[in-house]
Amino acid sequence: MPRCPRCGTPLPKDENLRFCPNCGTRIKFRPVGMNLVMKDLSAGVFGALISVMIFILSPPEVNLYFLPSFASAIFVIYIYKVQEIKDALIVAFTVYLFANGILGGLVLGTFAMAGEPYNTHWIPQIHDVILYSFEPVSALIAGYVGLRISPARVEERAPIAATEREERLGGVVYAS
**What is the total count of domains within the chain?**
1
Cα separation, 108 vs 144, whole angstroms: 32
**Banded model confidence at residue 158, pLDDT cuts 50, 70, 90:** very low
Look at residue 47 and tell me if it is in a domain. Answer: yes
DSSP β-bridge partners for residue 3 = 10
Tens-digit pLDDT profile for residues 94-105: 999 999 888 778
Domain membership of residue 61 (yes or no) is yes
Residue 26 lies in a domain: no
Residue 125 included in any domain = yes
Mean pLDDT of 64-91: 94
Nearest C-alpha neighbor of 42 from the set 106, 98, 83: 98
User: Is 14 a member of any domain?
Assistant: no
Residue 19 covered by a domain: no
Q: What is the pLDDT of residue 168?
A: 56
Tell whether 7 is covered by a domain. no
- b/e 11-41 (16+ beta carbons within 10 angstroms → b): beeeeebebbbbebbbbebeeeeeeeeeebe
Domain residues for the domain of 144 are 33-149
* 84 part of a folded domain: yes
Average pLDDT, integer, range 132-159 = 82
Question: Percent of the chain beyond pLDDT 90?
Answer: 38
Mean residue pLDDT of the chain comes to 82
